[in-house]
Structure 1
């Protein structure tokens, strides 16, 4: 068995392994999404896809997505782990564990002090040093009040809004731990997809975009999930007023709204839930403001310090999940 980085000409073989494994495990077709993600990643590194090869056949893989994330109001270079899979015939041999340890070595060599991943099998990654941060969600029963007069216009997004959304994202995301720094236009154009995900914006009387919200909409039971949200000035009940207009556009009088705890709204949550599965591992010590973080456990405690079920300072947007 050979453990190494992927070579030129092997990308198609690698993507087919990912597609076959994830199609079977998730029950949905991924098509060429793994290939497109690898080709479109503006921060891709030559050795970021690690593979286990048996007689010229890729049988296991781990991918490192090089990113920068906000932690403690600082931009920290981060290695996001994704595309972890093994051919079923080769499982139980520790191939993925070996590749994960190789990924840690590579991140250390590249001065990447932090690693994160999302997974439903967190016990597996805990054995290699990743730990869960609390990921809080809330569900609210929103009732439309069509008597509310917005001090701004609410409408579907247009392509010409994207420059303003980029600026708003950069400003809003700095308030949280977790968001990825999107400082490249090609990341926005290739990875932040607008189709099939309704996006609405709020524009003030001066024509300035003051908020945006991406939603997953399920019309049959009037359910909506916030995929991403940003606002220029927090605390102005903008999301509540936007929802009034959005629900009316769909012909709804009520809405079952789901959002991460960091998305603030004033109409109260009916339920709160905490999920495991957002995991971090400290590769090397980092300095956050006046605190030196030397262990993964210390990092998790730092991230959870102001991370509460009702209102959190931790966000992981759906658009950035790898």
Structure 2
């Protein structure tokens, strides 16, 4: 793959360091640093992250360079589109954050994160996502907020149900036969789902995606029609479901996939099924109904963290969907049958965006002004309601307890805009 030469004009200097795009002649040193910090055998892998990704630009790799031209710290920004609700927005995925072990404790990582946000803002990204492998406090102090990812576990797995509809047959995924239909089904299955990425065909074909195992394990077919797919990671004791997709109008397809999963567990002596998928997902209920295991246990973590690169632009991208939520609530009216005219300003960290609904129920955005009532949210609260992990009504009592007043009209608008919905970030999309 040919990579354009860097044209980074965003170099930052100070405190004996320079923060900028990586240069072609520095790639080897940068990869060596990643291998020392993450995995000693990662030379080929990390090289493919660059040369096997058609979307890569040198500016996406940020480096801190200190005296002597030594790379002290680095990170990678992955150019992605993520759905917030049903709206796809440009997202910069931050990964590979590392500092030379000999140079830690000097503030390089914090400075690098600040530079990454500035670079993404200039490049037109609206939000950023990372998955913290360390204490989330470090990133919270930089303005990031956690989005809890729910999952489930079922122990003592067994089969009790008779096989499902025999017209659906499960087979090992075959790229030549199946990939085009899998990509189409993925988009249809996730079109309205917060947290999922838009996967263009180039993404499916890219070396980074293949290295992380983007392709499913098995598919289910009825004749020439593909009804679903399942992506499994089989351990010594656990079958982990990394991803599942199916035609929602074909319940038999999901049943066939679950029956296959239970047969695999039985054949390999696996005692547990686990997934970082909300327990409300139909997969969990199907496993409970088709299987003969223990109770479903809730799991999850807060490693997924988000940052509003450009808050007002983000709301601008979401405006059509937010307006549709108001329209469905009744538009013009009172809190009982719609949304009353109201103004408010949401503040998250050092950014703010004013929201206003007029007499006709039309939502507009603006800059913060002194006359507009301001509601300040922590980054964590903001992302939980924006993504749909929590509804506004669930978090408002906490705000009130913390001394943040919310009028009835404001509450009505925010409850209408921010309702709970299923949030999933599929495991194969990690970077």
Q: TM-score range by the shorter chain?
A: 0.7 to 0.9
Instruction: Report SS of the residue matched to 1:10.
Output: helix
Cα deviation for residue 56 of structure 1 reads 1.6
* Residue 40 (str. 1) matches residue 52 (str. 2): yes
Rg comparison, structure with higher value: 2
Map residues 305-316 of structure 1 onto 2, 5 A cutoff. 305=390, 313-316=422-425
Cα deviation for residue 254 of structure 1 reads 6.6
* Residue 278 (str. 1) matches residue 307 (str. 2): no
What TM-score comes out, normalization by structure 1 length? 0.88
CA contact (8 A) 2:130 2:304 kept: yes
Deviations 1:104-123 (A, max 9, x none): 11111111110110013211
Q: What's 2:219 paired with? A: 201
Q: What's 1:185 paired with? A: 202
What TM-score comes out, normalization by structure 2 length? 0.67
Cα deviation for residue 33 of structure 1 reads 1.6
- Cα–Cα, structure 1 residues 95 and 256, in superposed 2: closer, same or farther, change >3 Å? same
Deviations 1:196-238 (A, max 9, x none): 987011102x3211100110012x43x2001111112168264
Q: What's 2:230 paired with? A: 213
CA contact (8 A) 1:45 1:66 kept: no
Residue correspondences, number: 313
Instruction: Report SS of the residue matched to 2:139.
Output: helix
Q: What's 1:137 paired with? A: 151
Distance 2:390 2:261 in 1: 34
CA contact (8 A) 1:138 1:261 kept: yes
* Residue 259 (str. 1) matches residue 275 (str. 2): yes
CA contact (8 A) 1:49 1:63 kept: yes
CA contact (8 A) 1:42 1:187 kept: no
RMSD of the TM alignment (CA)? Answer: 2.7
Distance 1:179 1:3 in 2: 31
Instruction: Report SS of the residue matched to 2:303.
Output: strand
* Residue 89 (str. 1) matches residue 102 (str. 2): yes
- Cα–Cα, structure 1 residues 49 and 176, in superposed 2: closer, same or farther, change >3 Å? same
Cα deviation for residue 245 of structure 1 reads 2.6
Distance 2:347 2:184 in 1: 33
Map residues 9-20 of structure 1 onto 2, 5 A cutoff. 9-20=25-36
Cα deviation for residue 95 of structure 1 reads 0.5
Q: What's 1:290 paired with? A: 322
Distance 1:237 1:164 in 2: 18
Map residues 107-118 of structure 1 onto 2, 5 A cutoff. 107-118=120-131
Greater RCO (Cα-Cα under 8 Å, separation 6 or more): 1
Cα deviation for residue 65 of structure 1 reads 0.9
* Residue 63 (str. 1) matches residue 76 (str. 2): yes
- Cα–Cα, structure 1 residues 129 and 225, in superposed 2: closer, same or farther, change >3 Å? same
Deviations 1:118-164 (A, max 9, x none): 01321111111111001111012442246223330111111221111
Distance 2:226 2:76 in 1: 37
Please state which structure has a larger fraction of its residues in strand.
1
Deviations 1:3-49 (A, max 9, x none): 211012111110110111113xxxx7434222211222232223111
Distance 1:187 1:148 in 2: 32
Instruction: Report SS of the residue matched to 2:55.
Output: coil
CA contact (8 A) 1:144 1:254 kept: no
Distance 2:269 2:101 in 1: 48
Please state which structure has a larger fraction of its residues in helix.
2
Q: What's 2:14 paired with? A: none
Cα deviation for residue 190 of structure 1 reads 2.4
CA contact (8 A) 1:247 1:253 kept: no
Instruction: Report SS of the residue matched to 1:47.
Output: helix
CA contact (8 A) 1:198 1:217 kept: no
Gaps of 5+ in 2: 1-16, 289-294, 324-344, 349-378, 395-419
Distance 1:249 1:270 in 2: 19
